[in-house]
Amino acid sequence: MIHVTTTINGDETEFVCDPRETLLDVLRDRLSLTGAKEGCGTGDCGACSVTVDGTVVCSCLVLGAEAEGKEIGTVEGIATGEDLHPIQQKFLDHAALQCGICTPGILVATKALLEKHPDPTETQVRYWLAGNLCRCTGYDKIIRAVMDAAKDMRSAA
């Protein structure tokens, strides 16, 4: 077993894990942070998206051991206290989720997108989120929610 010290959503966290365990396994099974979902385990669906030092990655493609000394961000860290992040609120306003299993990953990826590109085109949003599979919505309302959130965040900035 490997001992790892890391920071998750701003909190210093320690865990031990088997070297074969992924960061996703660790988050879900050892730290009870079940917001990141396993849809495929092979980096094809994006439901397990988290940020590592600010870069969005699939936590199923990161070993738990690699988290040593890193800053990890998960869906659980997007809201501030009881205040939803604008993208979370827009997802509710636009009915941009049906079953909700892809939502955590999409929110994590969207947050990273808007931090990097505050004024994305629809095409940019669609390509940025191409690794986040949604099977319910046909993406329409998701894209609208992201564009609307971007607009609001720009005018608030």
Partner 1 sequence: MQYQAPDSFDAAVTLLNAEQGMARVLAGGTDVLVQLRAGTVEPDLIVDIKRIPGVHDITAEDGGWRIGAAVSGVELNAHADLCADWPGVAEAHDLIGSTQVQGRATLTGNLCTASPAADSVPAMVAAGATARVQGSNGTRDVAVEAVGTGPFKVSLAQGEVITSIFLPARGANGGDAYLRFIPRTEMDIAVVGAAVSLTLDGDKVASARVSLGAVAPTVLLVEGAANAIIGTSLDDAAMDKLAATASAACNPISDKRGTVEFRTKIAGVLAKRAAKIAYDRAKG
Partner 2 sequence: MAFDEAKKDFNLIGTRPARPDGIDKVTGRAQFGADKAAPGQLHAAILRSPHAHARIKSIDTSAAEKAKGVKGIVTRADFATGLKGEMWNKLENVMAGEKALYDGHAIAAVAATSALAAKDALKLIKVDFEVLDHVTNVDESMKDGAPVIREGAAGPSTPEGMHPNVVGFYSSGHGDVDAGFADADLVIEDTFTTEATHQGYIEPHACLAQMGKDGKGEVWCCTQGHFNVAKVCGHLLGTEASQIRVTASEIGGGFGGKTEVFIEPVALALAKKTNRPVKLVMSRSEVFRASGPTASASMDIKIGMKKDGTMTAGRGVFRLQGGAFPGAPGTFTAMCAFAPYALENVSQEAYDVMTNRPKQAAYRAPGSPMAAFAVESVVDELCNQLGLDPIEVRLKNASREGSKASFGINWPRIGLVECLEAAKAHPHYSTAIPENGGRGVSCGFWFNHGGETAVSLALAEDGTVSLSVGTPDIGGSRASMCMMAAEELGIKYDDIRTTIADTATLGYNEISHGSRVTYASGLATIEAARDTIKKLCKRAAAKWGIDEDAVYWEDGFAKPSGPNAGEFEPMSLAKIASKMGATGGPIVGHYEATPEGAGVSFAVHIVDAEVDKETGSTSVGRYTVIQDAGKAIHPSYVEGQFQGGAAQGIGWALNEEYIYGEDGRLQNAGFLDYRIPVASDLPMIDTVIVEVPNPGHPYGVRGVGETSICPPLAAIANAVSNAAGVRMKSLPMSPPRILKALDEA
Binding residues for partner 1, rule: CB under 8 A, are: 2, 19-20, 22, 41-44, 46, 49, 52, 55-58, 60-63, 65-66, 68, 109, 112-113, 127-132
Distances (CA, A) of 143 to 9, 40, 112, 134: 26, 23, 15, 11
* C-alpha radius of gyration, the chain, whole number: 15
- Tell whether residue 79 is a contact of partner 2 (CB under 8 A): yes
Q: How far is the CB of 2 from partner 2 (least distance, A)?
A: 13
- Rounded CA-CA distance 134/132 in Å is 6
Q: How far is the CB of 21 from partner 2 (least distance, A)?
A: 7
Q: How far is the CB of 123 from partner 2 (least distance, A)?
A: 7
Nearer to partner 1 among residue 2 and residue 92 (C-beta) = 2
- Stretch in the footprint of partner 2 (CB under 8 A) among 62-70, 112-120, 139-147, 148-156: 139-147
- Tell whether residue 35 is a contact of partner 2 (CB under 8 A): yes
84 makes contact, choosing from partner 1, partner 2, none, with CB < 5 to 8 Å by partner type, with partner 2
55-58 and 71-73 beta bridge pairing: unpaired
- Across the beta sheet with 55-58, what order do the strands follow? 11-17, 2-8, 71-73, 49-52, 55-58
- Rounded CA-CA distance 129/136 in Å is 15
- Tell whether residue 103 is a contact of partner 2 (CB under 8 A): yes
